[in-house]
A and B are shown apart, each in its own frame.
Chain A
């Protein structure tokens, strides 16, 4: 670790904390229907959208109707995306003449984007037409994240309201999230990203003469048949893939979805060209999730509750980032004997540089690896598969927390509120009092729904990992030998079940087996948790406020924050420790032996 590295990490947390309150306040006003400023311009557009959809924006929905709208919207979105990917060959804006996607890959990709996962079993720059990238993938980055912001709003309204059946209007939450929050932020920040050097054009590619002409010594790797054609290109010229990348990069980070325009994601210099662009993208992944904790506090009438939740998230995140940073700084002991200099100085980044970019170095790469898995974004700026064993363990644990350490925008805080319910319930059992949160009694129905929401993720992850590992196709997809191979598969399904989308990229996951099982896991991971969360919203909304009994655990105090942190860690640690012991922990012991 170096002073520069620690300062960069501190700078990120500092800016994030500064932005939390103003953005949170703004969002609270948006969802109350009084967005300041922008409504002058966008208000008429908002009303036109409602009019064209033939709906009344004043209509209040019960939780079941809210859930139906959300599911229908997601189902249609998935169908449209599937058709787009299956037909891209015959559609415009395809300058490099890519073919349409195979059915299983298109199904996997559509499930992936509509569940806000952005798991990519394809390489962006050699698979997707510009139309698919924009109207398919970029659009879903907005829509899938706005849908879960809506579900969060329903849950908060449920907690605030009393004796009613309704939790808001899904369409209104959806449209407002996009029009007043995501889209304006995206417009401004994509221009900032482009100013740093991210590409944004409709051209397919540019041909460049190599400065040193290629000759026989240059190693050529084998790549099943495709090699010859590409070889012909590469022999005389370098082909620079271009496209509307910046707008997609911004949308996927802001929407915490994470699908790269290019295969290398944020490691690609055309996606994140400078250390400043890296910090910008990192902030975009986190500001909305952090701001929503303030919005939450504001809406329930006690901002201390929002800060209590945010402090739990940020403490876990900073501990995770520190562990990753330390592990990556240490470098790979196995190459030390080969005459390699791993030291960290002002002249070289040092440490474990396999899979990392010089401009980011170890500190920024470690921070992003942690934060992009703690939020459900999954857009790392290096190769997760080449992280040191402990450096790779941290991102796994971040996801296995259920994506509640900031998490996805909307889904992260919803998940954390579910954990709050569990924490209140357990503490209530310990002191022998009826558990209540915000004056609402927690009864068997709420605990059931909270358990359903929490349990689906570890079950889906572990069952799918075990199932795939029992098949030969499943094992053949593994790239690295030993415990690391197990980690690749475990990481893959952890990422999909938690709607993160990052990968240990060595895993060759574009096969019928992975595409179909992965798609099911992603859909389960998203919608099997969203429905019980909306059920909780409905059930809370119907409850009366009870008199807060003395001796109940106050949920805005540091004591509760610590308790919540323990519950969060224990819930995930109990489910995943055995698997982690066989994967990254075993590898760490092997490596340092």
Chain B
């Protein structure tokens, strides 16, 4: 047993250096050369300023913006330094009450809209940072956004379909709309006539 102590200790240290430093640092170097955009968080730059990440959602509750999915991160929604879901079980009354509150908020913001609400718009995502909503959830909100911005509903719908991503390779995952990118495009659309 004693003669195994040296191999055991040396092995732990050597393999730590190999798999815990050499491997991640080499890949970091390669990533920074070949995929710098992705490796650094897929950041969105506008006029030299970072306005967000294409992969991380933000919180919206004004009628003129499309709303993201509910987020359960603490202490405030879309806290990208503390990811996580609600962890509420399906029979937990807290979950049912939360869904009720979210339904009411959506109805209040858009009183004329009696359509059933897509489930993803009233349930919290797993990461609390989901950048997407379903196309149905975007269509549900289009009228409200158009009204709040004084835009023609069709121009909002066009923008939504422009920002709708299909399944990857037509097969994988689900169709989706990136909320932050859509809202940025909306702001640009509204700002255009003013800036010209």
Chain A residues within 8 Å of B, Cβ to Cβ: 4, 7-8, 11, 49, 52-55, 65, 68-69, 72-73, 75-77, 80, 123, 125-126, 134-136, 138-139, 141-143, 171, 174-175, 178, 183, 186-187, 190-191, 194-203, 205-212, 214, 217-223, 226-227, 230-231, 233-234, 238-242, 244, 246-248, 251, 262-264, 267-270, 273-276, 278-279, 331-332, 334-335, 338-342, 345-361, 364-365, 381-383, 385-389, 479-482, 484, 487, 504-506, 587, 590-591
Contact = CB atoms under 8 A, between A and B. Distances in A.
A142 B187 contact: no
Contacts of B32: 200-201
Contact of A278 (B13, B59, B86, B173): B173
A98 to B, nearest CB: 11
A568 B195 CA distance: 70
Interface of B: 1, 4-21, 23-28, 30-32, 34-35, 38-43, 49-56, 58-62, 65, 69, 74-93, 95-96, 99-100, 103, 107, 115-120, 122-137, 139, 167-169, 171-176, 180, 183-184, 187
A347 B167 contact: no
Contacts of A350: 118-119
Given A335-B96, A348-B137, A506-B89, A195 B35 contact: yes
A212 B84 contact: no
A142 B17 CA distance: 12
B4 A340 contact: no
B144 to A, nearest CB: 15
B81 A340 contact: no
B12 A269 contact: no
Nearest to B15: A143
Contacts, number: 430
**Interface core residue of A138, A171, A207, A208 (most chain B CB under 10 Å):** A208
A65 B10 CA distance: 18
Contacts of B85: 264, 267, 354-355, 382-383, 385-386, 505
Contact of A8 (B91, B115, B172): B172
Contact of B76 (A139, A218, A264, A346): A218
**Interface core residue of A142, A175, A211, A226 (most chain B CB under 10 Å):** A211
A357 B127 contact: yes
A202 B183 contact: no
Contact of A274 (B6, B9, B168): B168
Given A200-B27, A211-B51, A234-B79, A348 B16 contact: no
B19 A342 contact: no
Contact of A348 (B42, B56, B118, B168): B118
B24 A356 contact: no
Contacts of B9: 76
